[in-house]
Amino acid sequence: EAGVAQSPRYKIIEKRQSVAFWCNPISGHATLYWYQQILGQGPKLLIQFQNNGVVDDSQLPKDRFSAERLKGVDSTLKIQPAKLEDSAVYLCASSLGDLTGDYEQYFGPGTRLTVT
C-alpha cells in the first residue's frame, strides 16, 4: 500500500513570496490533515478535511494560509505572503476517518520550508 505522498520535499523562498505544497493521501482515506512542525517542536494541526469539507481550521492563520481539497482526494496548502516564522516542516497525514471510526493517522515525509 502506497503511503502519503508530499511534494516538494524541500523549498527555499524569500519572505513575502508565495509557496504551495501538495499532498496525495492514502487511497480511500477520507480524512486529511495538514500540520506545521517547527524545529524542536511537535506537530501543530493547521487544518483537517473530511472528504472535501473543512472540519477544523481553528489554528490556520487565514490571513496568509489557505488550503483546499478538491474532489476529496489531493490537497494543496498555500502560504501567501510567507514570513520568516513560517520556516517549518509541513506534514500531511490521512486516516480512514468518520466512515469507519478509524482515525489512525499516517504521515507523509513532509515538506521542509525555509523562508529567508
**Positions in the binding site for another protein (CB under 8 A):** 4, 31, 40-45, 48, 56, 91, 93, 95, 97, 101-110, 112
Shortest gap between Cβ of 7 and another protein (angstroms)?
Answer: 14
Nearer to another protein, 55 or 81 (CB): 55
Identity of residue 15:
K
Calpha distance 24→22 (Å, rounded): 7
Lookup: cell for 103: 482515525
Nearer to another protein, 84 or 103 (CB): 103
Residue 33 has what DSSP assignment?
E
Shortest gap between Cβ of 35 and another protein (angstroms)?
Answer: 8
Calpha distance 45→101 (Å, rounded): 19
Nearer to another protein, 72 or 109 (CB): 109
Shortest gap between Cβ of 18 and another protein (angstroms)?
Answer: 24
Shortest gap between Cβ of 51 and another protein (angstroms)?
Answer: 15
What residue has cell string 472535501?
52
Nearer to another protein, 40 or 53 (CB): 40
Alpha helices in 2-106 (DSSP H): none
CA-closest candidate to residue 31, choices 89, 105, 91, 107 = 105
